Each structure stands twice: as C-alpha cells, then as structure tokens.
C-alpha cells in the first residue's frame, strides 16, 4: 500500500468535511495509520476511557473508514462501527452483546442508506460495509460516509446514556 498516497486522499476528504455538526455532537475526527491501515476515525468523547493508559481502538465505540493492502487488493474501501471491551468502559454498566443488539435494532431504520452493509457479526463489530475503491472519488465518499454517521452517533449517545451507572 502506498500509505502516503492514501493518507493524502483521506486528509483531502477530512478537509472537505463540515466540522460544525461533529463539534456540536462532541465528536472527534482523526486521520492516521493504525493497524497497517489508513483510517478516518470518529469517536465521541464519552465513548472511550479517558486515561493516559488507554490505547487507540480499545475500550471504546468508534466509526472508521479505512483501506489497507487487503481492501485495496479487493478494490474496496471499508467502513464500520466497533464497540470494543464495552464492559471496561468506565461510568457505564454494559453487556457487549446486549449493547450490540440494541444498536442493531435502532440501526434498522438507517440500514438501507449504507451500501453493502451487514450487521452479521459478533458484538465487537456493530455494522460493517464497503464501497468500490476509486481514488478519484474517495475524498468525497469519505465525506458522504461521515455525514451518514451523524444520526448513528446520536443512537450511540442514547444507548450509552441508558447504561450510565
């Protein structure tokens, strides 16, 4: 994978995103390289343990759009929502499978908006899908996916609020 090339495309997409609705929902957006993938990640501040020991992508809920060697070889860009180590998320009483089931029930309303999406995963992956990978349109596709995520962020906030200790 040409990491710099894809970082450039993801950063172009990031620069096109209207940050206002994300800031209003206290959502943080980041572009970077994690787990050998170029990723755009969106996460609410309450969706992750806030400690210096917390590693990226642990004890948290997050949305991501990513490419790596395997996705590029398949001609796809992937997106998903992960809910990792939910029992360890401080300030909440969460059972991972129950949280995933509740999210998926709410997601049904939005499912048809998400191309090639599936919820047929264990509790760590709430949903996952993909789009054809086209470098020329990738920055704009990143914008569209992130905007589609905004109502799902509200679902996540609601579900977490219901499970607050």
- The 3-class secondary structure across the chain, one letter per residue, is CCHHHHHHHHHHHHHHCCCHHHHHCCEEEEEEEECCEEEEEEEEHHHECCCCCCCCCCCEEEEEEEECHHHHHCCEEEEEEEEECHHHCCCECCCHHHHHHHHHHHHCCCHHHCCCCECCCCCCEEEEEEEECCCCCHHHHHHHHHHHHHHHHHHHHHHHHHCEC
pLDDT, position 55: 53
For the chain, residues with pLDDT lower than 50 are: 52
Number of domains in the chain: 1
Please tell me the pTM assigned to this model. 0.90
Domain of 21 in residue numbering reads as 3-162
Report the pLDDT value the prediction gives residue 86, as an integer from 0 to 100.
78
Question: How much is the pLDDT for 84?
Answer: 85
């Amino acid at each position: 994978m040409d990491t710099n090339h894809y970082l450039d495309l993801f950063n172009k997409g990031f620069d096109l995103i209207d940050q206002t609705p994300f800031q209003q929902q206290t959502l943080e957006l980041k572009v970077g390289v994690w787990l050998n993938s170029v990723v755009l990640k969106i996460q609410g501040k309450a969706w992750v343990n806030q400690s210096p020991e917390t590693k990226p992508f642990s004890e948290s809920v997050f949305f991501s759009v990513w490419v790596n060697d395997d996705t590029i070889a398949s001609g796809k860009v992937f997106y998903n929502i992960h809910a990792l180590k939910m029992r360890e998320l401080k300030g909440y009483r969460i059972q991972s499978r129950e949280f995933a089931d509740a999210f998926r029930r709410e997601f049904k309303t939005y499912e048809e908006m998400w191309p090639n999406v599936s919820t047929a995963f264990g509790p760590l992956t709430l949903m996952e899908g993909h789009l054809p990978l086209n470098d020329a349109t990738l920055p704009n596709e990143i914008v569209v996916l992130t905007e589609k995520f905004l109502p799902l962020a509200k679902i996540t906030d609601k579900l977490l609020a219901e499970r607050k200790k």
